[in-house]
Chain A
Amino acid sequence: DGGITQSPKYLFRKEGQNVTLSCEQNLNHDAMYWYRQDPGQGLRLIYYSQIVNDFQKGDIAEGYSVSREKKESFPLTVTSAQKNPTAFYLCASEGEVREKLFFGSGTQLSVL
């Protein structure tokens, strides 16, 4: 089945630690996105990539980093510079037609 896989579902971060959230898609989509969702809030864009080896900052990129070395993969690293990382993180992808985003099932990140 084609889709987007995020892992892990739950992740705990210690103070000062970097953690990486995985996002893999087999939909052959060029564009991939990372969103953050806080309780009672909409989705806020962290980073996006429209093609391999290229990515742009979204609205809340500080404290995060990404890479796009392969079309299928768009991992997100939450660095120690992100002081309030507890949130639900959603990865999404989109094809050339730009009709709709396909979402993964998300990763809940909490701070220990």
Chain B
Amino acid sequence: EDKVVQSPLSLVVHEGDTVTLNCSYEVTNFRSLLWYKQEKKAPTFLFMLTSSGIEKKSGRLSSILDKKELFSILNITATQTGDSAVYLCAPRGSNYKLTFGKGTLLTVNP
């Protein structure tokens, strides 16, 4: 059975702080790992990672994958209140199936 563990489950920070969200996984026939941001309803895509050690960046967000140790991290620098959301990690395994973690609830206070 495919497994995904995200940590921490929730996090409260002040604007300007830097945060690191963790995702460890065990999936059969790993293909890729996706990160999503869910503010209210529909999750929005952030990154897809397929190769170890190659950082993906988008503005203040960045992510990296370690296929040997089976984890990924999502970094957010200089956090803003608009970053408050649930961040979901989802590795893709056999049959292209995505398994979602429970998410990390990030709250950024002004």
B26 to chain A, nearest CB (A): 15
Q: Pick the contact of B100 from A43, A98, A105 — CB < 8 Å?
A: A43
* B-side contacts of A94, CB under 8 Å: 96
Please tell me which one of the listed residues B42, B44, B45, B96 contacts residue A98 in the complex, with CB atoms under 8 A apart: B96
Tell me, yes or no, whether A42 is within 8 Å of chain B by CB: yes
Q: How many residues of B contact A (CB 8 A)?
A: 23
Bound-complex Cα distance A85 to B31 (A): 32
Q: SS class of chain A's interface: helix, strand, loop or mixed?
A: strand
Which B22-63 residues sit within 8 Å CB-CB of chain A? 31, 34, 41-45, 48
Whole-angstrom CA separation of A91 from B12 in the bound complex = 30
Contact pick for B45, options A35, A50, A100, CB 8 Å:
A100
Whether A105 contacts B98 by the Cβ 8 Å rule is no
- Could you say which residues of chain B place their CB within 8 Å of the CB of A48? 97
Q: Tell me the minimal C-beta distance from A56 to chain B in angstroms.
A: 8
In the bound complex, do residue A105 and residue B103 qualify as a contact, i.e. CB atoms below 8 Å apart?
no
Question: How far does the alpha carbon of A34 sit from the alpha carbon of B63 in the complex, in Å?
Answer: 27
How many residues from A make CB contacts under 8 Å with B?
24
A58–B96 Cα distance when bound, in Å, is 12
Query: In the bound complex, what is the Cα–Cα distance between A44 and B100 (angstroms)?
Result: 7
With CB as the reference atom, state the residue of chain B lying closest to A98: B96
Q: Please report A residues at the B interface, Cβ cutoff 8 Å.
A: 31, 35, 40-45, 48, 50, 56, 58, 88, 90, 94, 98-106
Which residues on B are within 8 Å of A, measured CB to CB?
A: 4, 6, 9, 31, 34, 41-45, 48, 88, 90, 92, 95-103
Question: Can you name 13 A-B residue pairings with CB atoms under 8 Å?
Answer: A42-B6, A42-B88, A42-B102, A43-B90, A43-B100, A45-B97, A56-B95, A98-B31, A98-B92, A98-B96, A101-B34, A101-B45, A103-B43
Known: A42-B101, A98-B96. 12 other contacts (CB 8 A): A41-B103, A42-B6, A42-B103, A43-B88, A44-B100, A90-B42, A98-B31, A100-B34, A100-B45, A100-B48, A103-B42, A106-B41
